[in-house]
C-alpha cells in the first residue's frame, strides 16, 4: 500500500513540476497580447497564421470576413488594404503571414 501512495505522490509531484514549468514560460504569464486574426476559410496563409499562433500557445480571436462582412470592412480600415490575413496584435497591424514581425510584436 505504501508503494501505491509513493507512486501517486511521485506522479502528483511530476504534474506539479510540469505545471509550474509550463506557467513560467507560457504566454499567459508573460502578459498576453490581445490578438485578432481576420481570415477566410479558403485562405491558406490565414490557416498558416492560426496554426502558428496555436503552436506558440497564443490565444486569439478569429474574425471570419466571409461570415461577417463588417469584419472585412474593419480589417480594411485597420490595414488600408483588402488582403488577408490581417493580424492585429495590441493595435499593431500585420498584413499576411509575416512570422518575424508577429514574433517581435508578441515579444513586447
Is pLDDT of 70 > 70? yes
Is pLDDT of 43 > 70? yes
Cα angle, residue 34 at apex, residues 62 and 82 outer, rounded to 5°: 50
Say what the pLDDT of residue 6 is: 55
Cα angle, residue 40 at apex, residues 77 and 86 outer, rounded to 5°: 40
Q: In this predicted structure, which of 17-21, 92-96, 98-102 has the lowest mean pLDDT? A: 17-21
Bridge partners of 89? 35, 92
Q: Look at residue 35 and give its three-state secondary structure.
A: strand
Say what the pLDDT of residue 7 is: 57
- pLDDT category of residue 27 using cuts at 50, 70 and 90: very low
* Length of the chain as a residue count: 108
> For residues 8 and 35, which has the higher predicted lDDT (pLDDT)?
35
Q: Tell me whether strands 35-39 and 86-89 are parallel, antiparallel or unpaired.
A: antiparallel
Amino acid at each position: 500500500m505504501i508503494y501505491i501512495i509513493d507512486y501517486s505522490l511521485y506522479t502528483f509531484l511530476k504534474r506539479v513540476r510540469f505545471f509550474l514549468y509550463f506557467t513560467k514560460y507560457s504566454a499567459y504569464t508573460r502578459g498576453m497580447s490581445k490578438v485578432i486574426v481576420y481570415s477566410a476559410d479558403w485562405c491558406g496563409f490565414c490557416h498558416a497564421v492560426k496554426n502558428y499562433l496555436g503552436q506558440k500557445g497564443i490565444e486569439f480571436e478569429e474574425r471570419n470576413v466571409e461570415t461577417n462582412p463588417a469584419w472585412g470592412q474593419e480589417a480594411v480600415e485597420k490595414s488600408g488594404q483588402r488582403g488577408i490575413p490581417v493580424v492585429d496584435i495590441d493595435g499593431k497591424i500585420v498584413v499576411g503571414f509575416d512570422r518575424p514581425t508577429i514574433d517581435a510584436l508578441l515579444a513586447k
